[in-house]
Structure 1
Amino acid sequence: MTVAPRTAATLPRRGPHGRFSRFVGNARDAGHLVVQPRMGFGEMPRMRAGLQAVRQARGATVGTITVDSYTRVNDHESARRALAKGDDLNGFPVVAHGPERVREMLAQVAGERFPVQIRHGSAQPQELFAALAAAGADATEGGPVSYCLPYSRVPLSQAVSAWSECCRLLADLAEPIHLESFGGCMLGQLCPPSLLVALSVLEGMFFREHGLRSISVSYAQQTDPAQDLEALAALRALAGEWLGDADWHVVLYTYMGVFPRTPVGAFRILEDSARLAVRSGTERLIVKTPAEAHRIPTVAENVDALEFAAAVARDESTRAPHVRPSDTGLYEEARTLITSTLRFGDDVGSALVRAFARGHLDVPYCLHQDNANRSRARIDARGRLRWSESGGMPVAVPADGAGERAVTARGLIDMLGFNERRFDREQLVGSHPRGIR
């Protein structure tokens, strides 16, 4: 495969393609950050009410239908039995409800001013994609790597094949369905930014290669705002180089790891993510609520988080219009990961499978059988996430990290709780914790 980027200079970026992209583009042009919850309920009336509440929230909002755990693994019969018995599912079983009923519900709440995305977590989502296409959903998300390695035992080659089929299904639709890569959110935390950026762009290329034109690339807030700002700049630059002929935008996730336990700490990390989104020019933000550390949030808690994030974004937009990111080589490292991976195959899917098989791509602390799990990351004394062991990856371990002892189980637990302690401690005693050693 050629590794020359298809830049916007050679292939002009297309205009909005589909209702979801039009909404995001219009919000961007009006200077609004799009905010979105992660929300799913088993019963149709409750799901409808949740969407209506999000639609009425103050801010530029899009709706979310998150599916249940049965649907994620294609156990639709169990989902049907749970519905029949009135069991409380942890999400909305799209396939079990059936596309006709879902289409009727969407017709009551969705539209040009309120598109709806169906979020899932499935490595082999063919039945789900057929149902959401028949139901007229505006968008969905995932990817052959990002919904395989963290969430399943499905071989990566089978996930790539399944996602190829799903992408072709969406590409053949008369009304476009937007597809968001989850590649920038691998494991939620402790994956260095260069790999998150590279995986998101590679999955975006995979989507484009299979005929999709409406795409978003993702990144999850990590442990250092300056590093995150640099990562988002690199993601935008690389998406421009490799997805230049597509209609694409960037989505940021509020921190997906262990969440602060105090309400003030939780709102502070949400505030940081909203300000980061505005400073970086990100178009869409997936929010979390203070309830995340304890239980599934209610509709009202989701609305509160959305309105808070939208208000913070409005405040941030009145400040300095541009914040220049640092340059620590993150863009170059991510670009090297992309270009070197593409040399492993004649198409993006086969290149991804072979790159992981050889440990050339390697997600730290990921236990999937197709991941080498030889690379390691740590949080340094400044709070930045960096490589401590490269495994077989073409990434540089910082010189000051040479000779560091291996991460222990205790050290890993400490790192997983870094942001929890950081934001809860700031609100309790006004101090900033030292990095993990």
Structure 2
Amino acid sequence: MSGHFDRFIADVHRRDELVVQPRMGFGKLQTMESGLQAVAALDVPAVGTLTLDSYTRVGDYTTPLERLAAGEEVNGFPLLSHPTRATQGMLDGLYGPTFPVQVRHGTALPLQVFKSLVEVGLEATEGGPVSYCLPYSRLPLAHAVQAWKESVQFLASETEFGHIESFGGCLLGQLCPPSLTVAMAVLEGCFFRQHGLRHMSLSYAQGTLPAQDRGALRAMRSLAAEYLGDVTWHVVLYTYMGLFPRTPDGATGLIRDSARLARDTGCERLIVKTVSEAWQIPSVAENLAALRLSSQAAEGPPAPATAVEDAFFDEVIEEARLIIESVLNLNPDISLAFVKAFADGLLDIPFCLHPDNMGAATCVIDDRGALVWGSRGRLPLSRTGSGHRTDRFSSDRLYSMLNHVAHRYDSRARALKDNPRLCIP
């Protein structure tokens, strides 16, 4: 069993279709197997997911089985707790060329996860030395980077087609200008490549303004071709990762728009959220409905680029390249370059409270609805330009920003419900 993940993605993309993927993870083997079977049976191109539980993410492999034995649930699949043969049996007859499965985990110390996924016969996972440390861990960045270096080298040596999806493009993506997240995804791709990995994907989280997202995704593809041209890569889009609309119609509209964004920008894969995201952990049925909704919304020809999108492309690719080059020039070893870049403020994640993050850079949503810099801190960017704002920041404004997308889609849904003849863009 090898190469299923990348070959499947490439085959679907050649048919001008979008691969959709849920974020499902269940503690019990039987429940997890049923969820995977349901996704595999869909009549749309889909990838299966083993999303690991929060205990496994912090290295606790005992508590999950204790909770399950007590009749309780855990919030994901405890890959390292279940016997290897039991997980292999669950995957037998499901995992294969027409149904790849990815392990999603969320840990800054991934070596044991990587060893377990290889043992059960899988090859695809996600994360990154920065994106799974800041802000998801309090682990010192230098420790996380070293752990990821060893883990990537292990996966590259133990599997011919080992695949890692950088989470860098989703790094607080709902409140971070896209030039930084694009740069981070490409830099993590360079890190994977330097340590022997030949198959990867770069993530991007749907933001606050479609035109900005389209320009940013175009910039990501251009930079990936420039810096990662000799490895196999593709782009994966995440449906908006911030506070989700609270009305079913608002959530449906946001999910549809994420699928159309993926279609318009040539993304190969979409990580899908569900209509019930704002108020409960989604069921299998809700995940299936969201996968069908996304696949249907992505049908049809891509929308043509606009002048506004072109302007965002120029801005994002210029800023992202400055960040990438500034980091790569710090040290030939990207592991060391990452640590020094954060210490010097050349990399700085807005609103991230990790001790190794300088915290001088901030972000605001401007009058267009675009994510722009409030303060650039020491980031290696121009001090002027349309993407820079110097107005004061407050807790009220942060609250408004966090609710910006949910409020917009819920308001639109209510307006359409009150007056179905309205055409609201």
1:166 maps to which of 131, 151, 155: 151
* 2:349 is the counterpart of 1:363: yes
Change (3 A) 1:417 1:174: closer
CA deviation string 1:207-247 (max 9, x = no partner)? 11111111000100000000000000010000001110001
Q: 1:294 maps to which residue?
A: 279
Shift of 1:266: 0.4
Shift of 1:206: 0.6
SS of alignment partner, residue 235 of structure 2: strand
Q: 1:346 maps to which residue?
A: 332
TM-score normalized with structure 2 length: 0.94
* 2:318 is the counterpart of 1:332: yes
Structure 2 distance, partners of 1:422, 1:120, is 31
Change (3 A) 1:136 1:371: same
Q: 2:211 maps to which residue?
A: 226
Q: 2:142 maps to which residue?
A: 157
Q: 1:3 maps to which residue?
A: none
Gap regions ≥5 residues in structure 1:
1-16
Q: 1:61 maps to which residue?
A: 46
CA deviation string 1:3-36 (max 9, x = no partner)? xxxxxxxxxxxxxx81100000000001110000
Shift of 1:98: 2.8
Change (3 A) 1:326 1:246: same
Q: 2:22 maps to which residue?
A: 37
Structure 2 distance, partners of 1:194, 1:432, is 32
Letter in structure 1 aligned against 2:197: L
Q: Within 5 A, what are the aligned runs for 1:53-92?
A: 53-92=38-77
Q: Identify which range, 335-344 or 169-178, moves more after superposition.
A: 169-178
Q: Within 5 A, what are the aligned runs for 1:200-215?
A: 200-215=185-200
Structure 1 distance, partners of 2:93, 2:70, is 26
SS of alignment partner, residue 217 of structure 1: strand
Shift of 1:87: 1.9
Structure 2 distance, partners of 1:155, 1:432, is 50
SS of alignment partner, residue 417 of structure 1: helix
Letter in structure 1 aligned against 2:95: A
Segments of 4+ in structure 1 off by > 6 A?
321-324, 400-403
Q: Kindly indicate whether the alpha-carbon contact (under 8 Å) linking 2:372 and 2:389 is maintained by their aligned counterparts in 1.
A: no
Q: 2:362 maps to which residue?
A: 376
Shift of 1:322: 6.5
Shift of 1:398: 5.1
Q: 1:418 maps to which residue?
A: 404
Change (3 A) 1:235 1:359: same
Letter in structure 2 aligned against 1:283: E
Change (3 A) 1:111 1:376: same
Identity fraction in percent = 50
1:318 maps to which of 278, 298, 301: 301
SS of alignment partner, residue 196 of structure 2: coil
Gap regions ≥5 residues in structure 2:
417-421
Shift of 1:80: 2.7
Shift of 1:410: 1.1
SS of alignment partner, residue 412 of structure 1: helix
Shift of 1:402: 6.8
Structure 2 distance, partners of 1:34, 1:174, is 23
Letter in structure 2 aligned against 1:284: R
Shift of 1:320: 4.7
TM-score normalized with structure 1 length: 0.92
* 2:360 is the counterpart of 1:392: no
Change (3 A) 1:78 1:336: same
Q: Within 5 A, what are the aligned runs for 1:99-110?
A: 99-110=84-95
SS of alignment partner, residue 62 of structure 2: helix
Letter in structure 2 aligned against 1:359: G
SS of alignment partner, residue 127 of structure 1: helix
SS of alignment partner, residue 318 of structure 1: coil
Q: 2:124 maps to which residue?
A: 139
SS of alignment partner, residue 20 of structure 2: strand
SS of alignment partner, residue 377 of structure 1: strand
Change (3 A) 1:397 1:82: farther
Change (3 A) 1:381 1:321: closer
Q: Which has the higher contact order (CA 8 A, sep 6+)?
A: 1
Change (3 A) 1:323 1:274: farther
Shift of 1:304: 0.2
Change (3 A) 1:220 1:52: same
Change (3 A) 1:432 1:332: farther
CA deviation string 1:65-101 (max 9, x = no partner)? 1000000001112223223323210000000013222
